[in-house]
Amino acid sequence: MTKIGSELRRLCEGSATADEAASKVVRCLYEDLVDEEDGERLCTLVRLFKTHPYSRLGPELQGYTREILGEQPPFPEMKCLTLLATVGDRPEWNRREASVGHKAIPLPSEDFVGRFPMIAQLIHQFGLDTSSVIRPAPEILVDIERQRFNVFRVPDALTSPHIPAKEDFVIPFGIRSALGFGALLPSGSMFAVIMFCRFPVPEATADMFEPIALSVKLGLLPLMNESMFPG
């Protein structure tokens, strides 16, 4: 894991944009995490997300988030969990614009986040309060910066309520578990890498991704800003 962490940071530091770095991160995890016995890839799908203010999304993604919000109006500073990069077994999983339900997920309130079980659980397992993600305060960010990095783990995707897409994703594609890592950035934005795995992920294995989260954060940090995200 130390080798992968160093490689991920190196890939980020050699990138010109956050999009480029994110694509390299998910590609590295997808290709390099393999079963030691038969060389089979451990991940079926790997994605990297970052929260982005609604006002900084392009018109297409703003329209996409409004459809999800329904009658609830958006507001400029509303955080949206935006897909930066994706790679997976199927062709449509390798193009960000082909994502059906995850291009940009609005996070206007704690109650609304609860409509997305996996996101709510991810934030919880990261050791964060939902409020610190959707309304980050400077004094909270200072404390969070000192905390250790946590990981997100769903040990059994088939029975877990945190991955609701059983019939059209978990079962047909043999998803056994999910694993994620991420952190809050000094800007108040959160990044998260989520891996959907074809093998069970033991807790001890998940814990090994804590230092990888730090490596990716340090690599992404110089590239992450609140500039316009056209989608």
How many other C-beta atoms lie within 10 A of the C-beta of residue 35? 11
For 97-150, the pLDDT digits (tens) are 999 889 999 999 999 999 999 999 999 998 888 998 998 776 555 555 555 567
Residue 138 is predicted with a pLDDT of 62
CA pair distance 193, 84, nearest whole angstrom: 10
Helix (H, G, I), strand (E, B) or coil at 95: coil
Over 90: is that where the pLDDT of 228 sits?
Answer: no
Backbone angles phi, psi at 159, to 5 degrees: -105, -10
Which residues 6+ apart lie within 8 Å of 191 measured at CB? 48, 49, 50, 51, 84, 182, 183, 185, 216, 217, 220, 224
154-175 average pLDDT score: 95
Q: Are strands 79-88 and 104-107 parallel, antiparallel or unpaired?
A: antiparallel
Per domain, the residue ranges of the chain are 2-222
How many other C-beta atoms lie within 10 A of the C-beta of residue 186? 14
May I ask the CATH architecture of the domain 2-222?
2-Layer Sandwich (3.30)
